A and B are shown apart, each in its own frame.
Chain A
Amino acid sequence: MTLILTYRLGNDLYGLEIDAIQEIIEDAELHHVPRATGVICGAINFHGQILAVIDLPTLLDFAVDKHDHRHLVLTSEHRSLVLKTSCVERIVNLEMESLEPPPADHDRPAVRGIIEFDESIINLLDTDEVIKQLEDIYAE
C-alpha cells in the first residue's frame, strides 16, 4: 500500500508518492527570479532554503487556468523542486501492484505509469522526466 498525493494539472488527474514530498506549502511569498522564463515563476524561502517554483502545467503544456496557491515541496532526493499545480486534491492509499505503464498512445507528458482509482485514472508523475525537461530548457 502506497500513499499517493493526487493533484490536477489542467483537468487531468496526476499523482505523486508522498515519500517524494517534503511538505505542502500554501501562500508562500513568491520572489522574483531574474532571467527566469515562464516555466519558473519565482522563488520561495523554504525554512531558509531558496527554492525555485516550477510552473508544472506550463512546463507540461497544460492549458493554464487557475491555481490553488498550494505548492508541493519535493524531497532533496528529487532536487527539492517546488511544483506549482493546478489544484492539490488529497492523499489516497493505492496498491502499487495495479500500476500500469502508460499505453503507447498515451499523450499525457511526464507519466511514469497509470493507476485506476475510484473510476478515474491517476497519472503518476515522472519527476526525472520533469527534471530532464527543465535541464533541456536551461541547457539551451
Chain B
Amino acid sequence: MRIEISYKFIIGFIVVVVSGILVNLVVPYIKGIEPEFRQVFAIFCSLVVGLIIGSVFSRAFSDKIRRLTSAGDRIRQGDLSEDVVVVGSFPDETNDLAKAMNQFQASLRILVGDIRNIAFRVASSSQNLSGTSQEMSASAQEVARATDQITKGAETQAEMVEESTRLFKEVAVSIKLVASSAKTVADSADQTLETARSGNDMAGSSLDSIRQVLTEAENSGQQMVNFIAQLEKISTFVEVINGIAQKTNLLALNATIEAARAGEYGHGFAVVAEEIRKLADSTTTSADEITGLVESIRKEGQQVQTSMAQVIDEMESGREAADRTNQAFSDITQNAEGTRAKASSIAELAEQQISSAERINRAIDEIGRVVSDNAAATEQVSAATEEQSAAMEEMAQSTKELSNMSESMLQIVQQFKLVKEQEQD
C-alpha cells in the first residue's frame, strides 16, 4: 500500500498523540506510581513512544534517503550498472524518486552507450582518417618529391635547352664561318681560275713565242747551213784561186828560167816574171788568209750551228716545259673550277644549313618557352602540392587532435560503468 510521506508523518503524529492519550488513560491503573508522578510518567511514556516511533520512522526514511543518496553518488561516480532499489513496507515518494532515478540511469546508460559507441566509431574513424591523412600526406610528399623532380627536370631541361640554344648558336656561327670560308675559297678559286687562265694564256703565248723562236732558230739553222755551204763554195773558189796562183807562180818561175836563158834580152821579162810571181805569192797569201778566214768562219758557223742545235734542244725542252706548264695550268684551271663548284655547293649547303639552324633555333626557343611554361606550371603544381601538403599536415594534426579527443572522450565515457563487473567480463 502506498502511503505518502506527509501521511506517514501525520499517522506518526497521530500515533504519538494517541499513545500519549492511551498512556494517560492507562497510567492511573498502574500501581506503584505516585499520582504526582503520573503526569510525568505519562509524558515520559509518550515521549518514549514518540521517540520509538519517530526513530523507527526516521530510520526507515533515512535509510531510503541514504540508499537514494548512495545511488546518486554511485551514478555521479559513473556506475550505472545497478538499479536503485528502495525497500520498505510502504512505498512512498522515495520509491518514485528511485524509479525516476532508475529511468534516468537507464536513459543515461543508453546515452553513455551511444556516446561510447560513437566515440569508438569516431576514434576508429579518426584513426582511419589519420591513416588516410598520413597516406595522403605521404602521397602529397610523394607528389611534392615528384614535382620537385619534375621541377629539377624542368630546370635541367631549361638548362639543356639553353645549352642547346647556345650550342646551336655556336653551330650557326660555325656554319656561317664555314659559309664565309667556303665563299672565300670560292673567291680564291675564282682568282686562281683567273690567274690560271691568264697563266694558261701566258703559257700559250710563251709557247707560241717559243714555237716562233724555234721556227726562227730552225730557219737560222738552215740559213747557217746555207751559209756554211756558201762558205764551202768560197773555199772552192779560193782553192781555184789558189790553184791559179800556184799555176801563175809556176809560170813565173818558168818565165824567169826562160828569161835567164835569153840572157840580156830576157832581163825585162825576168823582172815582169818576178812581179807576176810576187803577185801570185800575194794571191796565195791572200787566198790562204781567205781560207783561214773561211775556216774560222766555218768553225764559228759550226759552233753557232752547235749552239743553235743546243738552243733548239733547249727550246724544245722549253717548249715541252711550256707544254707541261700549259697542261699544268689546264689542270689547275680544271681543279680550280672543281674547287669553285665544290666551294659554291658548300656555301649553298651552308646557307641551307644556316636557315635550318635558324629554324632549329626557333624550334629550340619554342621548346625553351614550353619548358619555361612547364617549369612555371610545375612550380605552381609544387606550390599547390606544398599547400596541399600543409593542408594535409593540418588535417593530420586535426585528425590527431580528433583522435586524441575521441580517445579522451572514450576515456571519459569509460568511466561510466554500464554493467556489473562480472557481466562486463
| A24 to B254 alpha-carbon distance, docked (Å) | 6
Complex interface: chain A residues within 8 A of B253 (CB): 5, 24, 88, 90-91
B261 CB to closest chain A CB (Å) equals 8
The answer to whether A23 and B260 have CB atoms under 8 Å apart is: no
A26 touches B250 (CB 8 A): yes
Give chain B residues whose Cβ lies under 8 Å from the Cβ of A19: 260-261
**Is the CB–CB distance between B256 and A26 below 8 Å?**
no
**In B236-285, which residues have CB < 8 Å from any A CB?**
246-247, 250, 253-254, 256-257, 260-261, 274, 277
A23, B257: Cβ atoms under 8 Å? yes
A22 CB to closest chain B CB (Å) equals 8
* Contacting residues, chain B, for A90 (C-beta < 8 A): 253, 277
Q: Point out which of A3, A70, A91 has the most chain B C-beta atoms below 10 A from its C-beta.
A: A91
| B246, A26: Cβ atoms closer than 8 Å | yes
Complex alpha-carbon distance, A94 and B125, angstroms: 182
Q: Which residues, 11 to 55 on A, are CB-close (under 8 Å) to B?
A: 18-19, 21-24, 26
Residues on B with beta carbons closer than 8 Å to the beta carbon of A21: 257
Cα distance, A3 to B257, chains bound together (Å): 9
Pair A18/B260 contact, Cβ less than 8 Å: yes
Q: Give CA–CA (A26, B243) in the complex, Å.
A: 11
Shortest CB distance A72–B (Å):
10
| Interface contact A91-B247, CB-CB below 8 Å | no
Contact with B along A83-116 (1 / 0, CB 8 A): 0000010110000000000000000000000000
B267 CB → nearest A CB, Å:
11
Query: How many angstroms between the C-alpha atoms of A91 and B250 in the bound complex?
Result: 11
Closest residue of chain B to A23 (Cβ to Cβ) is B254
| Chain B interface residue bracket vs A | 10 to 19
Contact: B256 with A18, CB < 8 Å?
A: yes
Q: How far is the CA of A88 from the CA of B249 in the complex (A)?
A: 11
Of all chain A residues, the one with the shortest Cβ separation from B250 is A26
State the CA gap A91–B252 with chains docked (Å): 10
Contacts of B254 in A (CB 8 A): 23-24
Name which residue of chain A comes closest to B281, CB basis. A90
Question: Which single residue of chain A is at the shortest CB-CB distance from B257?
Answer: A18
User: A75 CA to B254 CA in the complex, in Å?
Assistant: 13
B129 → chain A closest CB, angstroms = 157
How far is B274's CA from A34's CA once the two chains are assembled, in angstroms?
Answer: 40
Q: Is the CB of B246 within 8 A of A24?
A: no
Q: B261 contacts which chain A residues (CB < 8 A)? A: 19
Q: How far is the CB of B12 from chain A (nearest CB, A)?
A: 219
Interface string of B314-335 (1 = CB under 8 A from A): 0000000000000000000000
What is the 8 Å Cβ interface bit string for chain B, positions 269-305, against chain A (1 contact, 0 not)? 0000010010000000000000000000000000000
A37-81 near B? 1/0 per residue, CB < 8 Å: 000000000000000000000000000000000100000000000
Contacts of A18 in B (CB 8 A): 256-257, 260
Q: Which residue of A lies closest to B258 (CB)?
A: A23
B260 touches A3 (CB 8 A): yes
Residues of A within 8 Å of B250, CB to CB, are: 24, 26, 70
B346 to chain A, nearest CB (A): 88
A70–B246 alpha-carbon span in the complex (Å): 10
**CB of A8, distance to nearest CB on chain B (Å):** 15
B61-86 residues with Cβ-Cβ distance < 8 A to A are none
Contact check, B256 vs A3: say whether CB atoms are below 8 A apart.
yes
A88 to B280, CA, bound (A): 14
A20 nearest in chain B by CB position = B257
Residue of B nearest to A26 (CB): B250
Q: Give CA–CA (A22, B253) in the complex, Å.
A: 11
CA distance A90 to B278 in the complex (A): 10
A88 to B274, CA, bound (A): 16
Whole-angstrom CA separation of A70 from B250 in the bound complex: 9
Q: Which residues on B sit within 8 Å (CB–CB) of A23? A: 254, 257
Q: List 5 A-B pairs, minimum CB-CB distance, nearest first.
A: A18-B257, A91-B256, A24-B253, A18-B260, A3-B260
Chain B contacts to A: CB under 8 angstroms? 246-247, 250, 253-254, 256-257, 260-261, 274, 277
12 pairs from A and B in contact (CB 8 Å cutoff): A5-B253, A18-B256, A18-B257, A18-B260, A23-B254, A23-B257, A26-B246, A26-B247, A91-B253, A91-B257, A91-B274, A91-B277
Other A-B pairs beyond A18-B260, A91-B277, 9, CB < 8 Å: A5-B253, A5-B257, A18-B257, A19-B261, A22-B257, A26-B247, A70-B250, A91-B256, A91-B274
